[in-house]
Amino acid sequence: MEFLGSRGVLWLLAFMFGWLFGSVSCFGSNLDSEFTFLLPAGRSECFFQTAIKNGTMEVEYQVIAGAGMDVDFTIVSPEGSRLIMESRRSDGVHVVEPTQEGDYEICFDNSFSHFSEKMVFFEIIIEGQAGDVGGDEEWAGLEEPDGSLLEYKLEDIRESMDSLHKRLERSTQMQTVLRAFEARDRNLLEDNLWRVSFWSCASVLVMLCVALTQVYTVRKLFDDKRRVCT
């Protein structure tokens, strides 16, 4: 009995290490991406994202700096058709489902602005891609021992770990989006602070000029240079 007990512990440790390495292999491939770039005035920038058939692609963008806080946004399918077209928007979220096999073109256009450059943040979230298949093969290579130690099932553990991983990824994506919102609000506040400070200084200068003009005018009214003959 003691021999069987120690053997069971060894089996349990072996399979725990197997599940750990399987989860690392499953979660090692991450196709989501995020990017922040500077879009010059009067120009457009395009990016390409590869997708497979019947997947899901979510694109979220924000203009975090620049006068007007707006750009033109376009998503073009691998066949060349325009799926999404937006004009003069500061942010947006779009989901392409199901995707076609090929390269999607994601474009940001600032050609309507002749002087102001824009700082743009965007994030691409890919689901149903080939990166998820490798993890299934790794998990499939692990087999449960006879007896199912402690009545644990490999499929239940795998579902729990997959669910936890997806929630952690979603939390990371939400934190990235919130950081972009914070950067945009900070840039807007700094821009407003500069405007308020400039016009406050201008108002103070105008008030000083008016005060000096009034003093000068009043003194001129009481300045009598006529000579009195005695």
Each residue of 208-218: pLDDT tens digit? Answer: 999 899 888 88
98 secondary structure, DSSP code? S
Q: How far is CA 116 from CA 40, 44, 60, 175, in A?
A: 7, 13, 22, 28
Assigned token pair, 172: 């990371």
Cβ–Cβ contacts within 10 Å for residue 131, how many?
A: 17
81 and 12 Cβ atoms separated by less than 8 Å: no
Q: Tens of pLDDT along 157-187? A: 777 787 787 778 777 777 777 777 777 777 7
d(CA 96, CA 81): 13
pTM of the model: 0.55
Please give the residue that has the higher pLDDT: either 105 or 229: 105
Contact between residue 83 and residue 96 where contact means Cβ atoms under 8 Å apart: yes
Predicted pLDDT of residue 137: 52
Which tokens go with 96?
């392409």
- 15 pLDDT above the threshold of 60: no
Q: How many angstroms separate the first and last alpha carbons of the chain?
A: 139
* Phi and psi torsions of 162, nearest 5°: -65, -45
Quickly name the fold that domain 29-128 has.
Jelly Rolls (2.60.120)
Q: Of 137, 131, 69, 127, nearest to 98 (Cα)?
A: 127
What is the per-residue pLDDT for 69? Answer: 82
For residue 20, pLDDT over 50 is answered with no
Structure tokens belonging to residue 114: 């002749």
How does the average pLDDT of the chain come out, rounded?
76
Is the pLDDT at 86 greater than 80? The verdict is yes
The predicted-structure confidence for 23-47, as pLDDT tens digits, reads as follows 434 444 446 788 888 899 899 999 9
